[in-house]
Amino acid sequence: MFDTKRTFIAIEVPSSISDTLSPVLFQIRGVQLHPTKNFHITIKFIGDTPVESVAQLESLMGFVGSNFKPFSLSFSHLKVIESRLRLIIKNPEMVAHIRETFEHNLKKINLYHEDLIPFEPHITLGKVPRDFQPPRLGFDFSKVNFPVNEIGLYETIRGQTAAEFVPLKKVILKGK
């Protein structure tokens, strides 16, 4: 059996943004919220990665970081997909472009796989019942924004109550 790490590439959501969102999210009944320390925007889920391939991913992170400059993200609305409450990104173009660059290069190192769900950048906020409908909250998510200056390669460590996302490598976006 191969030694693997369950990996993904993501943008970490700053704690200041989690602190802004928390009071609004706690108003929503019927949601089993994820810990705010786990809030992130997945760029690409890689999955079970052979340990010996992690160095290739770290190198790819450096390449991408040197080719993209910092940008800002804001949010749009709540949406439910597969019993998960998501906060959708309003301006996903740069995240999509970074993702395409990763996918192109993951194919070259045989770590690419097709996703089961169409890509729509978001934060997964928590679990909800299958028939859950996001409520109208009277909160303008589009006014919540933050600068993205780095991206990270993370390993998922499954816990008994919640997963832990351990950074393996973070890179600063410093493209021209």
Domain boundaries, the chain: 4-172
**Residue indicated by tokens 């493209």:** 175
Using alpha carbons only, give the angle 96, 37, 57 rounded to the nearest 5 degrees.
45
* pLDDT of 161 above 90: no
Q: Which residue has the higher pLDDT, 108 or 160?
A: 108
Average pLDDT of every residue of the chain: 94
* pLDDT of 2 above 80: no
Q: Give pTM, 2 decimals.
A: 0.94
**pLDDT band for position 117 (cuts 50, 70, 90):** confident
Please give the helix or strand (H or E) that residue 95 lies within, else none: helix 93-108
* pLDDT of 144 above 90: yes
Residue range 4-172, CATH number? 3.90.1140.10
Alpha carbon distance 9, 3 (integer Å): 19
